[in-house]
Copies of this chain bind each other. A is one copy, B any other.
């Protein structure tokens, strides 16, 4: 079956699918509350992208565009993407769906930053991501891994 990455809308169906993911949390609960309180409409934009296999959401990630004035990672400073909650349901792991999502994110042509778990660092390295020089003031408890499009390099911390 051909699969594709699609932007996920905020609706009750999507939020129900989200419950299958381990990293279901405050973000999803907040979307649900906003929907119930009519703060956002059904089928509003969400920061999530996902892959459906038939009717089932089997993989997802969150992507958010940061403006260049907030950029503390890339040289020259520029708009970049924050990527989080990349997750493939256990039954569908090891089939390249995670890679498909990351490749999709790279397709925007912007630098990408993610906060890697220590155990996931190998995956990110295979995806072409690199660790940055740790800086306590910027990174605190994070383990940032970044992907540089051509012509972009690490921002030196002063």
Interface residues of A (CB under 8 A from B): 23-27, 29-30, 47, 62, 64, 82, 84-85, 115, 118, 131, 133-134, 136-137, 139-141, 143-144
A-B contact pairs, 10 of them (CB 8 A): A23-B141, A25-B118, A26-B134, A26-B143, A27-B136, A27-B139, A30-B133, A30-B134, A84-B140, A115-B141
Q: Which residues of B contact A137 (CB under 8 A)?
A: 64
Q: Which residues of B contact A141 (CB under 8 A)?
A: 23, 27, 62, 82, 84-85, 115
The count of identical subunits is 2
In the complex, the chain B residue whose C-beta lies closest to that of A137 is: B64
A118 to B21, CA, bound (A): 13
Q: Which residues of B contact A134 (CB under 8 A)?
A: 26-27, 29-30
In the complex, the chain B residue whose C-beta lies closest to that of A30 is: B134
A137 to B144, CA, bound (A): 18
In the complex, the chain B residue whose C-beta lies closest to that of A70 is: B137
Q: Which residues of B contact A133 (CB under 8 A)?
A: 30
A136 to B47, CA, bound (A): 8
In the complex, the chain B residue whose C-beta lies closest to that of A136 is: B47
